[in-house]
Structure 1
């Protein structure tokens, strides 16, 4: 996959980040598909991926109209497709530069780590041109850019403890699960190291976790004075708030909401048996959708006995509850109603679950992204 100089550079940077070389290499392989450069106009250039929505955001109204007409910009992420050829992707940058050079140079990801050039200032470069020049120098330059991103965005901890779910949430964004970045990184690490990645934070809430317990954590953080959104997604803002809380409590500030952190946050509960952040049935997206489609009866059925209040993690919901719901819906609106109720039930069940982000070594990998190099 990578040549000896590239592997040496990965090893050197891994030492700096205090993580295993196999962990950093796994990230680089997934982000670049194991390819360092491509031939563009007779020169080996770093791999890039054009992001038309970044370009769209950086233009004046007049420039935006021109860019959209030429198929170079869109307000929607992913709407401007990347050609398979790297040469054609670099041609997009050239064409976009004729409209607004600075905006164009800030609108693509680059190198082994596929880091957005828009981050040039935060990563310590004097200009976006300097960041791009660093990527064009060598594989070591590209890995340096990736390491700067990992450090500046506080992701070294996740890499050190082989927490690929948390790392992918911070590195690839909230849509990381859809493309299975965490699973691909874990699989690459296992192939490279010969061992399945087992995080020291297994079973604990940390970045990349989602669900009911995350909502509870976020609610308690708000009560403790930290500005986070209670949405059940343990993203970077929640991670930062947990670290700040831990620092204030003078305990290890690693962003992992382990037993000690949760014990201290329990002080902000209104009663010992309170369940902060608990979703009302009417707030569950699937229930809302089913209600719109099936009318008030669906909401009544979904709300009955809180539907999945006594849900089993093995069977979804108890058989008698499911049967009651099915009977009511069949009597009220037939098979369509039953389908809507089933959708609502599943939504309610999900609202009571928590995914800590632990990775199953046997999990199936999603299909490869054809847009990657």
Structure 2
């Protein structure tokens, strides 16, 4: 689930490149699971994925040997596993950049559209640093990068026509059907047009995205221990359950509207009535933005 700020940025990028906003939102949702940033050393950074086989083929012999010995490069796709956490992935790319910065950045997919750095010249950037700077500039930069890739790939007509098989093949590769990529796009688009089903308006185990991160940040501000990773896992459910128990709510670990309202009220009270953090309003806005 995206925040309204991110959804607005994606829609702005869509209009700039002649793409249907809701269709671009659908592919962004599938690619990013609604999560735009990772918190790295106190700063927001785009989500990344490092590809060790890309890195391997971009290195000269001596650097290639060094990278292979360090477990950063391999001629075999998938042999270099990405750590689960984004913080660890950023450490991984920093290690690779110490061997060859350009090759490391080219071997990484960037942002909510997971665009490979290797495409920098094809996408019209002067250097790979230009592509990376766009990805790191915020939600609008990530959205523009994804829209630029779709436009350059000749997928505009297919996206605007909701030809999800063609979009899946062009964006995800020839194996797109194996994991139902086109079906995920179709469902994500349906939700953009019709709105989420009532059950989808809850945050529960399996939910992901910026709004989950904002919920987690609210819980941390209320002194509950929880990872702020945008993933509603058992730890978040446990913290929500404890909050519910302490505030006379049914302790099911699901953040429904009553729980969301109670957390928002508790947060305002803890901050002396300040409305500077109104994550609940952003949630409600996201839910009804298409109606």
In structure 2, what is the equivalent of residue 77 of structure 1?
Answer: 77
Distance 2:68 2:2 in 1: 37
Distance 1:102 1:160 in 2: 34
Distance 2:56 2:179 in 1: 24
* Deviation of 1:83 (Å): 0.8
> Once the two structures are superposed, what CA deviation does each residue of 1:119-157 show, in whole Å capped at 9, x if it has no partner?
111111121111111111110000010111111111111
Secondary structure of the residue aligned to 2:99 is coil
TM-score, structure 2 length as denominator? 0.65
In structure 2, what is the equivalent of residue 109 of structure 1?
Answer: 109
Distance 2:51 2:175 in 1: 15
Q: Check if 1:125 corresponds to 2:125.
A: yes
Q: Which segments of 5 or more consecutive residues in structure 1 lack a partner in the other structure? A: 196-372
* Deviation of 1:37 (Å): 0.2
Alignment root-mean-square deviation, CA: 1.9
- Is 2:49–2:110's contact at 8 Å kept on the other side of the alignment? yes
Q: Which has the larger radius of gyration?
A: 1
Secondary structure of the residue aligned to 1:38 is strand
Secondary structure of the residue aligned to 2:94 is helix
Secondary structure of the residue aligned to 1:96 is helix
Give aligned pairs, total. Answer: 198
> Once the two structures are superposed, what CA deviation does each residue of 1:292-321 show, in whole Å capped at 9, x if it has no partner?
xxxxxxxxxxxxxxxxxxxxxxxxxxxxxx
* Deviation of 1:25 (Å): 0.6
- Is 2:50–2:89's contact at 8 Å kept on the other side of the alignment? yes
Distance 1:54 1:179 in 2: 23
| Runs (4+) off by over 6 Å | none
What aligned pairs does 1:294-305 form with structure 2 within 5 A after superposition? none
Distance 1:135 1:122 in 2: 16
In structure 1, what is the equivalent of residue 33 of structure 2?
Answer: 33
In structure 1, what is the equivalent of residue 145 of structure 2?
Answer: 145
* Deviation of 1:8 (Å): 1.2
Secondary structure of the residue aligned to 2:71 is coil
Distance 1:74 1:184 in 2: 31
> Once the two structures are superposed, what CA deviation does each residue of 1:312-332 show, in whole Å capped at 9, x if it has no partner?
xxxxxxxxxxxxxxxxxxxxx
Distance 2:27 2:71 in 1: 31
What aligned pairs does 1:90-109 form with structure 2 within 5 A after superposition? 90-109=90-109
In structure 1, what is the equivalent of residue 158 of structure 2?
Answer: 158
- Is 2:17–2:148's contact at 8 Å kept on the other side of the alignment? no
> Once the two structures are superposed, what CA deviation does each residue of 1:32-69 show, in whole Å capped at 9, x if it has no partner?
11001010111110000111111011011222222122
Higher relative contact order (CA 8 A, sep 6+): 2
What aligned pairs does 1:263-274 form with structure 2 within 5 A after superposition? none
Secondary structure of the residue aligned to 2:38 is strand
